[in-house]
Structure 1
Amino acid sequence: MSSTLVLVLASAALHSGWNLTLKRNQDPPAATTAVIALTGVLAWAAALAEWATGLGVPFGDGGAFALSLGCGLSEAAYFICLARALRDAPLGVAYVVARGGSILLLWPLCLAAYGERASLLQGAGVAAMLLGLVRLYPVGAAPGLERAGYGWAVATALFTATNHVLYKGALLAGARPWGTFALAMLVAAPVNLVSLPGPDRLGRMRRAALEAPWALLWASVQCAASLGLALFAMRLAGAAWVGTLRNVSVAVTPLLGWLVLGERPGRRAFLGFVLTVAAVVLLAL
């Protein structure tokens, strides 16, 4: 399990970085669309390289192909919700609710789909996660952007969980990690572009990319590597376990929001962060 643990922890470390880049952009939805497009190019390059080296057909049979397309629709919804959560809420709240909330959904879904079971300690982790998410809710905020951002983060949690379940199904059906990822991005990129409001969608995406081109390119590399590593880990371990351990990044992201963006959580939010980190530790045991 040690090699799998290394893959998942590396995936988690990379995941925080590209979320921070999107949060710092003036137009997170457009920047997200640009990152998806670039990530898709990287995923296709990796899938074709995998195929060329004789590691097998990247997309598997018809069932794996269909599940990979389903991953694309789920990824599209995930990216749409994530971009709006990052736009409307502090990075720490958006990220912790999105990643932490997904754990609450991921375990029962994986139990139903693949028979993955949780221990008593992991059950305690679910309870700690619930308490943490309650503490993170912006009670004192005006009924405007921050609460809307919390709602988008909850929706992001839902699609984070379905992403893991569908990817695991595609891998079990015979798809290669980079192949299923490449197909998913092929679906997600145009859906996200169409979801941008206004007539000048390509212009918005171009302006967001030109605002910090090297940062968005690096974010795309981080995004591709993060999910690629997670998919390779998912071939070796359960989707719920992988999804849970990837969320150790909830301990890093609020710190990045404080150090880089100047987001200082109050006592209520700080307790929420502590509870969610404790929950991840319990769920990973």
Structure 2
Amino acid sequence: MSPVALMLVLSSAFFHALWNALLKRHEDPESAVVGVISVTVVCGGLWALGLKGAAFPTSGALLWGLVAGVLESGYLVSLARALRRAPLGLAYTVSRGGALLLVWPVSVLGLGEHLTPWAVAGAASVLLGMVGMNLVRPRGAVGEGVLWALVCAACIAGYNLAYKRSLSEGAQPPALFTLSLGVALPLLVLQRRRHEAGWGVLCRKVMARPLLLVTAGVLCTLSFSLLLIALADSGTGAVLTLRNTSIAFALGLGALQGERLGRRQLAGAGLVLLGAVLLGWPR
């Protein structure tokens, strides 16, 4: 990974943790995510203005972009549910760490990324950290939050692989970003509409904190756009794992919001972070 790509991924990691922390502060994250992604789609459309050349030069590029959008909607729904039920640090670490364990085998076997001793050590560290964080099975709402974080992990792994396939087929990042979230948004709206008493109730919940939603939407746009730019020229496994240094940012932001993890969970999060660095560090 080049130094420029490294800086892009680290910046993306910080913005990603920050918009997740803002979503956590909303009284109803599952409804608020609709507003965040609405802002993000608008920002993506502005980013795509002036695009030169074919946005999706092959049918494969378009198809993988659509697949990424469906997986993005699953990611956003499961993320909001995990954040509503579990602490930010716990939900974030399980979802991002779980995605690592799913992406690396596919990247090595299907996308030609090299498996090194550092990568094996990093994967082992991630696995040990996730097990350590959940040695005692979380109960009640927190337990449900961890399960949703695992669903979120599968969606994260899936949309990153779909993004990489679309980019390898020649898709341009601004168009891919806008398409995927444009697909995800109506799916999110329909999913939330089934759980509300009416459109008016949903709109009131979405607009309850407009400044928070706009800020989170802009940060989400920065996070995903920087990720796609880095992903275009770097391996999926390396980008995703290094981006998971955002776990450290999420733990810090969670602490600022008054969350406190036990020593075992902090040690587990540290192992996940170490594994991400070992997997993604340029060499």
Per the normalisation by structure 2, the TM-score is: 0.94
Residue type of the partner of 2:271?
Answer: L
Cα shift readout 1:247-271 (whole Å, capped 9, x = no counterpart): 01111111111112x1111121111
Equivalence for 1:106: 103
Partners of 1:140 and 1:61 lie apart in 2 by: 47
Deviation at 1:200, TM superposition (A): 3.9
Q: 1:88 aligns with which of 78, 85, 90?
A: 85
Deviation at 1:101, TM superposition (A): 1.1
Please show how residues 274-285 of structure 1 align to structure 2 within 5 Å: 274-285=270-281
Residue type of the partner of 1:242?
Answer: V
Question: What secondary structure does 1:252 align onto?
Answer: helix
Q: 1:137 aligns with which of 134, 154, 158?
A: 134
Q: 1:166 aligns with which of 162, 182, 189?
A: 162
Partners of 2:20 and 2:221 lie apart in 1 by: 13
Partners of 1:153 and 1:271 lie apart in 2 by: 19
Deviation at 1:181, TM superposition (A): 1.0
1:178 aligns with 2:179: no
Partners of 1:276 and 1:107 lie apart in 2 by: 14
Deviation at 1:205, TM superposition (A): 4.2
Equivalence for 1:15: 16
Cα shift readout 1:163-208 (whole Å, capped 9, x = no counterpart): 1100000001111001111111111001111111434464344333
1:42 aligns with 2:43: yes
Partners of 2:46 and 2:197 lie apart in 1 by: 29
Please show how residues 204-223 of structure 1 align to structure 2 within 5 Å: 204-223=201-220
Give unpaired runs (5+ residues) of structure 2.
none
* Contact 1:34–1:205 (8 Å) recurs in 2: no
When the two chains are superposed, the root-mean-square deviation of aligned CA atoms in Å is 1.5
Shift of the 3–212 alpha-carbon distance from structure 1 to 2, 3 Å rule, reads: same
Equivalence for 1:230: 227
Partners of 1:26 and 1:153 lie apart in 2 by: 19
Residue type of the partner of 1:85?
Answer: A
Deviation at 1:138, TM superposition (A): 6.9
Query: After the TM superposition, which parts of structure 1 deviate over 6 Å for at least 4 consecutive aligned residues?
Result: none
Shift of the 135–207 alpha-carbon distance from structure 1 to 2, 3 Å rule, reads: farther
Cα shift readout 1:39-77 (whole Å, capped 9, x = no counterpart): 11111221133x2xx3x2223321111111111001011
Equivalence for 1:189: 185
Equivalence for 1:124: 121
* Contact 2:19–2:220 (8 Å) recurs in 1: yes
Q: 1:268 aligns with which of 259, 264, 268?
A: 264
Deviation at 1:219, TM superposition (A): 0.6
Question: What secondary structure does 2:49 align onto?
Answer: helix
Question: What secondary structure does 1:211 align onto?
Answer: coil
Farther-moved stretch of structure 1 (112-121 vs 227-236): 112-121
Query: Identical aligned pairs, as a percentage?
Result: 39
* Contact 1:87–1:149 (8 Å) recurs in 2: yes
Partners of 2:198 and 2:178 lie apart in 1 by: 23
* Contact 2:10–2:243 (8 Å) recurs in 1: yes
Shift of the 73–140 alpha-carbon distance from structure 1 to 2, 3 Å rule, reads: closer
Figure out how many residues of one structure are paired with residues of the other and give that number: 279
Deviation at 1:135, TM superposition (A): 1.7
Question: What secondary structure does 2:245 align onto?
Answer: helix
Equivalence for 2:70: 73
* Contact 1:99–1:250 (8 Å) recurs in 2: yes
Per the normalisation by structure 1, the TM-score is: 0.94
Partners of 2:83 and 2:260 lie apart in 1 by: 16
